[in-house]
C-alpha cells in the first residue's frame, strides 16, 4: 500500500470524453486535453489557450492502444481509424 500512496501523491484519476480512465497530475483542470504527440512515449496533458497549448504533464490512460503507441502509429502511417489533429 505504501507504493500505491507514493505513486498517487500529487495525482488524481480522470475520465476522458470518450470514457477512458486515466491518472494525471492534480493540477489538471476541466477542459485540459489528453494528446498523443508523434515521437512521445506517453500521452500528455495539454491546456488549450486561444492560439496555442500549454504543456501540463505526462499522464497514464487505461487503454493499451494508447499506452503502447498503436494509436500514434495509425496516424503516422495513415491507417484506418486514425484521428490526426493539428492547429
Render pLDDT for 8-62 as a digit per residue (tens, 0 to 9): 788 999 999 889 999 999 999 999 999 988 888 899 999 999 999 999 999 999 9
Burial class (CB in 10 A: 0-12, 13-18, 19+), 64: exposed
Residue 45 phi/psi, 5-degree rounding, is -95, 125
* Residues 55, 58: Cα–Cα separation, whole Å: 9
- pLDDT tens per residue, range 10-21: 899 999 988 999
Q: What is the pTM of this model?
A: 0.79
Domain boundaries, the chain: 2-76
Amino acid at each position: 500500500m505504501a507504493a500505491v500512496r507514493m505513486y498517487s501523491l500529487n495525482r488524481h484519476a480522470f475520465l476522458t470524453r470518450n470514457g477512458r480512465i486515466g491518472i494525471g497530475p492534480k493540477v489538471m483542470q476541466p477542459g485540459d486535453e489528453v494528446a498523443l504527440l508523434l515521437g512521445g512515449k506517453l500521452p500528455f496533458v495539454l491546456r488549450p489557450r486561444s492560439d496555442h497549448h500549454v504543456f501540463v504533464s505526462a499522464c497514464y490512460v487505461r487503454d493499451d492502444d494508447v499506452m503502447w503507441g498503436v494509436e500514434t502509429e495509425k496516424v503516422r502511417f495513415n491507417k484506418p481509424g486514425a484521428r490526426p489533429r493539428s492547429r
